[in-house]
Amino acid sequence: GAVVSQHPSWVICKSGTSVKIECRSLDFQATTMFWYRQFPKQSLMLMATSNEGSKATYEQGVEKDKFLINHASLTLSTLTVTSAHPEDSSFYICSARESIPQYFGPGTRLLVL
Amino acid sequence: TQLLEQSPQFLSIQEGENLTVYCNSSSVFSSLQWYRQEPGEGPVLLVTVVTGGEVKKLKRLTFQFGDARKDSSLHITAAQPGDTGLYLCAGEGAGNMLTFGGGTRLMVKP
């Protein structure tokens, strides 16, 4: 199957700092990328959808000024958690698709102290 | 909003037993994917079903898409400890959006 990478896999930061997470499709061009958040022992919660060159579409309840998404190319999307707080600690997973199905990255675990 | 109900939420069985996981919705999906996720990792695609009534087999795993493309099942034969994990179904609807089921956490005891 197609490969999606995420970097970093782990990040620990102090409250108030910003954290950038990269998502790359390694062997295909991702026309659409998705960002999910997953709480322990729960399913995935979609945060936003981004198409290359367009502004991201955020799900209800997700602050677009806090979770900045950039989809600059067909192989790269970034999620920046601005002014992170402990409640932002979570497992963030990106996925990418050219057509069906979606392929997921390995996830980034964020811990905000 | 499309909803996808997945059951059971938790399943703990002995090695060698069979099990079935169900995903049901009142909505029609253009395709449905099954993923397996291990702790600390992203979901890994197991299968995509597209056609109503479609059955796909992956070793001991059998996936079925309902005739009306509103439901799906995953059957595992002779479960092994390596099958332990979180199983997620996800239906693709309007706008290519995926709707996830709540997940089934499977534990297979040796």
pLDDT > 70 in chain B, percent:
98
Residues of B in contact with A97 (CB under 8 A): 96
Chain B nearest C-alpha distance from A94 (Å): 8
pLDDT > 90 in chain A, percent:
75
**Which token pair is A24?**
């790359």
Q: How far apart are CA A104 and CA A3, in angstroms?
A: 8
Residues of B in contact with A105 (CB under 8 A): 42
Q: Tens digit of pLDDT for each residue in B28-43?
A: 999 999 999 998 999 9
* Residue B1 scores a pLDDT above 80: no
* Chain B CA closest to residue A32: B96
Of B45, B97, B101, the CB nearest to A101: B45
Is B74 in the A-facing interface, judged by CB distances under 8 Å? no
Amino acid A52: pLDDT: 82
Amino acid A1: pLDDT: 66
* Residue A41 scores a pLDDT above 90: no
Mean pLDDT of A85-103: 93
* Chain A CA closest to residue B33: A101
Q: How far apart are CA B30 and CA B79, in angstroms?
A: 30
Mean pLDDT of A4-15: 96
In the sheet with B61-65, reading across from the earlier edge strand, the strands are B5-7, B19-24, B71-76, B61-65, B55-58
